Amino acid sequence: MKHDLTHLPRAGDTVAGRPGTSPEALEANFSDLHPPLNPRQAMIESQRCLYCYDAPCVEACPSDIDIPRFIRQISEDNIDGAAHTILEQNILGGSCARVCPTEILCEQRCVRNHDAECQPVLIGLLQRYATDHARFDGHPFQRAADSGYQVAVVGAGPAGLACAHRLAMLGHRVTVFEAEAKPGGLNEYGIARYKMTDDFARKEVEFLLEIGGIEMRYGQRLGHDLSLAQLHSDYDSVFLGLGLGASRQLGLTGEDAPGLAAAVDYIKILRQSDDLAQLPLARRCVVIGAGNTAIDMATQMARLGADEVTLVYRRGVEAMSATGHEQEIAKANGVRMLTWATPREVLLDAEGRVSGMRFERTHATEGQLQGTGETFEVEADAIFKAIGQGFDGDSLSDPAASELARDGERIRVDDAFRTSLPRVYAGGDCVAPGQDLTVQAVQHGKLAAHAIHQDLLAKQEAA
């Protein structure tokens, strides 16, 4: 972990006579957040759908899944067909069914989402049911004839994996370069453990790779082991699915003190842990932020057994990027939310470790955030910052990469995900347009693959 939390007790330790959380309790606390539908529930729920011709749910789906079609297929007990309908548009449809904020996308637009119906059709759970219960005889998609072209994909997150799979379907050979030891990106390292259980991220990637034609290389980081110039020379096209790898700074003195850490660093260790009882646990912790990562961090600390978890945000609840559904999850787990407060000082004990934080109360005047001058303190053994991820500039440090046009810190692309460099494409969180959603990253990768394919065919015809 980047910042030192080794002084904290473990989740399973007895502290001041208070017993730690038992392994059994921890296992229960990190079980499936939304238990899957059983066959009878799936059949009943699928029959609630009106199978709209101009379905508003499809318009709201970033990956263009034909939602009425796959739900009708479930109602007809054609589970393999339903899964195929989903996966032909979103090859990571299983993980998206678990983590996609359906409550603000397809389900929000469902025509049954009104008071008289009580709730929309449970599209996310039906999608999970179909992808979990499909029993294909081999991989459901076949590779086209070998095109002779080779494409480099940098990053094995949702965008890179979706791009690689679609390129393989189109007959191209793909090499995926991944900095970490495992593929999956945020699905493997950054999603709350209770949202993605049973090593699902790994299993989904193994399924994706069954199409063939995709070589994985791990421990390869752009700007360190790889250069864009070399990839540009060695491959016919390059797709950059770099994500956002740098945690933003608070800019406060004491930010490097033991007990202050980036939430994503802790979540990564939690996701990879084989023994949750051995994780460092702050009995009193503060999480700074307002997005889904902040919610995930706060909720997981509560489930690990923390006595007090406080989430602090500089604006009001209505401005939080975490959905109302995510906020309710945190509240149900005992997380206290403090709004209209901004960090001003990291408080340290006599040994230089975090003991709390001083905040200034804020308000908005004509949309501009201002401090009131009034301060208060929150005691804490650890502080976790979840104030957003930035682009890791080191990845674009070589001369060729530095020529990429940028929108702020992110890579500029056109409507076909072409960058300013010929034969170089990008998608996912590292590009400017979008909502930083897994499902949107998948769509970026898929559409970029089609653009790469068309450009390669045009090059072939021109020759």
Backbone angles phi, psi at 301, to 5 degrees: -65, -40
Are the C-beta atoms of 341 and 313 separated by less than 8 Å? yes
Indicate the domain borders of the chain.
39-133, 150-245+391-462, 247-389
Write down the H helix ranges in 317-434.
324-332, 399-402
Are the C-beta atoms of 157 and 187 separated by less than 8 Å? yes
Q: What is the pLDDT of residue 267?
A: 95
1 pLDDT tier (thresholds 50, 70, 90)? very low
Cα separation, 358 vs 379, in Å, equals: 9
CATH number corresponding to 247-389: 3.50.50.60
Query: What is 39-133's CATH number, 1.10.10.10, 2.40.50.180, 3.40.1670.10, 1.10.1060.10?
Result: 1.10.1060.10
For 39-70, write each residue's pLDDT tens digit: 999 999 999 999 998 999 999 999 999 999 99
Q: Check residues 82 and 6 and name the one with the higher pLDDT.
A: 82
Least Cα distance to 330 among 192, 215, 174 occurs for 192
254 pLDDT tier (thresholds 50, 70, 90)? confident
Rounded to the nearest integer, the mean pLDDT of the chain is 93
Length of the chain: 463
Architecture of the domain defined by 150-245+391-462: 3-Layer(bba) Sandwich (3.50)
Fold identical between 39-133 and 150-245+391-462? no
- pTM, entire model: 0.94
Give me the half-sphere count of Cα atoms (radius 13 Å) on the Cβ side of residue 457. Answer: 10
Least Cα distance to 279 among 293, 269, 268 occurs for 269
Q: What is the pLDDT of residue 2?
A: 52
Cα separation, 352 vs 363, in Å, equals: 32
